[in-house]
Chain A
């Protein structure tokens, strides 16, 4: 069943991430694909994540298809103007890529080519509209194309953004622009997430809650201090602390599994998005603990 069909059939969807490497050695990445194949419903392929130059997300999405993993092509507006974006979308379409996640993209100053010229000719809301147009057989200038695309397009949202209101305004605009599904920034507070879902449920869109496994107290503190839109509550930090250094990761995985289980049992979200960040090999185990495998 395709990712789109799974979401539309109200099954609980699970997505994870494949991070293209810098360089042409793809052994480890192929190993990750092998690990996730048959377990998750689709894999996000990141687009020069954190503005660090790597293999392009279209090539790796195609590799996913060849290796039996359905890709969600991440596309940011940082590196291409509207001509480049649309042209790449058409290319992705003929390669059989169905899902696209429209994002603005981290600024070049975060990455490893700080002197690069950031493009941002258009942004996420406008990219969603462009995808909608391509699906309808027209490009951004209104030209009729020979053959339309058939993308299932999504976007991202930060449910714990501070302040939240401007973020919700953007969420609403993304829905209006044609986003069919959303993947969220990592969440750690289910109560707060429920609040966000109350808002999201006003719209006919699917929401996959984002998860990043906590590996240590240090990591939790780092996230709280440095990563926008992430807030790890004190109770969780205390829980990991109490488990001791040896069992910290294990406890972090338990917490993620527990949260996923709750989201599913209480039908809070339509699925989850597990961002492993270097721990791809742990994803199947987290799924197992959450009762998803």
Chain B
């Protein structure tokens, strides 16, 4: 899921300076799980804005904020509340925020959150980054552990000289990705394969932005 963090309220208020009334839009998927854009956060935001003397014309938690068409349909009943508002404040990820931008081209839309990474939830509201969406997965070669993401340098052929007692150069709290990969491949009895394969310089073209894909056409291929 997409991991988000609430923006500092002072920063948000600075961005909203000059506007008086707001429509608040959340998302029931990632942002709800992150505690940044579900019903409770919308209620909290409404209270906080009202305490600043602002008006909230309405609130809604979209089912899936990054789904543009679905969100459009869901927002129809809120047409009046939205038209009354000076602007829309979105409590989801950057993708959800831009769904609103696409749907309301005559209204300012502001993000209430910072979008951080694609994360795995390892415990309640604890998230780890494990995939950087590089466009060409190499987990097949690295025992299922992604060095592009788990190694701060994204090294593809083994540890750097900074690994200290199995921990990463960048932080003693993180285990070196390459020590993890090595141990796992050893356990899987695939060490020979790991040691004998030099992974070539990565083709970054598939991660060229912005990316678009038409899945139904991919299917035909």
A229 close to B198 (CB less than 8 A): no
Interface mask (A68-89 → B, CB under 8 Å = 1, otherwise 0) = 0000000000100010000000
Q: Is the C-beta of B136 less than 8 angstroms from some C-beta in chain A?
A: no
Which positions 167-221 of chain B face chain A at CB distance < 8 Å? 169-170, 176, 178-179, 182, 194-195, 198, 200-202, 204
Q: A107-B153, A166-B182, A176-B198 are in contact. Are A125 and B158 (CB under 8 A)?
A: yes
Which positions 155-206 of chain A face chain B at CB distance < 8 Å? 156-158, 161-163, 165-167, 169-170, 172-173, 176-177, 185
Report chain A residues within 8 Å CB of B159. Answer: 161, 166-167, 170
A228 close to B162 (CB less than 8 A): yes
B201 close to A126 (CB less than 8 A): yes
Report chain B residues within 8 Å CB of A122. Answer: 201-202
Please report the C-alpha to C-alpha distance between residue A292 and residue B178 in the assembled complex, in whole angstroms: 39
Interface mask (B147-176 → A, CB under 8 Å = 1, otherwise 0) = 000001111111111111110011000001
Q: Is the C-beta of A254 less than 8 angstroms from some C-beta in chain B?
A: no
Please report the C-alpha to C-alpha distance between residue A122 and residue B198 in the assembled complex, in whole angstroms: 12
A166 close to B178 (CB less than 8 A): yes
Q: A120-B153, A166-B182 are in contact. Are A173 and B162 (CB under 8 A)?
A: no
Max chain B C-beta neighbours (<10 A), residue from A120, A121, A123, A162 = A123
Please report the C-alpha to C-alpha distance between residue A165 and residue B181 in the assembled complex, in whole angstroms: 12
Picked from A129, A177, A228, the residue with its CB within 8 Å of the CB of B164 is: A228
Report chain B residues within 8 Å CB of A284. Answer: none
Report chain A residues within 8 Å CB of B170. Answer: 107, 109
Q: A104-B160, A107-B162, A166-B159 are in contact. Are A123 and B195 (CB under 8 A)?
A: no
A170 close to B158 (CB less than 8 A): yes
Q: Is the C-beta of A140 less than 8 angstroms from some C-beta in chain B?
A: yes
B155 close to A104 (CB less than 8 A): yes
The number of chain A residues touching the other chain, given as a range, is: 35 or more
A106 close to B194 (CB less than 8 A): no
Chain A proximity of B121: nearest CB distance (Å): 26
A123 close to B165 (CB less than 8 A): no
Q: A107-B162, A126-B201, A172-B195 are in contact. Are A165 and B182 (CB under 8 A)?
A: yes
A173 close to B201 (CB less than 8 A): no
Chain A proximity of B181: nearest CB distance (Å): 8
Q: A163-B166, A228-B161 are in contact. Are A173 and B179 (CB under 8 A)?
A: no
Q: Is the C-beta of A118 less than 8 angstroms from some C-beta in chain B?
A: yes
Please report the C-alpha to C-alpha distance between residue A104 and residue B159 in the assembled complex, in whole angstroms: 10
Picked from B157, B164, B200, B204, the residue with its CB within 8 Å of the CB of A170 is: B157
Report chain B residues within 8 Å CB of A170. Answer: 157-159
From B182, which residue of chain A is reached at the shortest CB distance? Answer: A166
Report chain A residues within 8 Å CB of B178. Answer: 166
A125 close to B198 (CB less than 8 A): yes
Interface mask (B85-114 → A, CB under 8 Å = 1, otherwise 0) = 000000000000000000000000000000
Report chain B residues within 8 Å CB of A172. Answer: 195
Q: A126-B201, A169-B158, A228-B169 are in contact. Are A161 and B163 (CB under 8 A)?
A: yes
Report chain B residues within 8 Å CB of A173. Answer: 157-158, 195, 198
Picked from B154, B155, B195, the residue with its CB within 8 Å of the CB of A169 is: B195
Chain B proximity of A65: nearest CB distance (Å): 28
Interface mask (A32-47 → B, CB under 8 Å = 1, otherwise 0) = 0000000000000000
Interface mask (A120-164 → B, CB under 8 Å = 1, otherwise 0) = 111111100110000000001000000000000000111001110
Report chain B residues within 8 Å CB of A78. Answer: 153
Chain A proximity of B154: nearest CB distance (Å): 5
Chain A proximity of B118: nearest CB distance (Å): 19
Chain B proximity of A230: nearest CB distance (Å): 9
From B157, which residue of chain A is reached at the shortest CB distance? Answer: A125
B162 close to A106 (CB less than 8 A): yes
Given known contacts A104-B160, A109-B152, A120-B155, what 13 new A-B pairs fall within 8 Å (CB)?
Answer: A106-B162, A107-B162, A107-B169, A107-B170, A120-B154, A126-B157, A166-B159, A166-B163, A166-B176, A166-B179, A166-B182, A170-B158, A173-B195
Residues of A within 8 A of B (CB): 78, 82, 104, 106-107, 109-110, 118, 120-126, 129-130, 140, 156-158, 161-163, 165-167, 169-170, 172-173, 176-177, 185, 227-229
CB-based closest 7 A-B pairs: A170-B158, A228-B164, A166-B182, A125-B157, A126-B201, A122-B201, A158-B161
Q: List 25 A-B contacts (CB under 8 A).
A: A78-B153, A104-B160, A104-B161, A106-B162, A107-B152, A109-B152, A110-B169, A120-B154, A121-B201, A124-B160, A125-B158, A126-B156, A129-B198, A129-B201, A130-B201, A161-B159, A161-B163, A167-B158, A167-B159, A167-B163, A169-B195, A173-B195, A176-B198, A228-B161, A229-B164
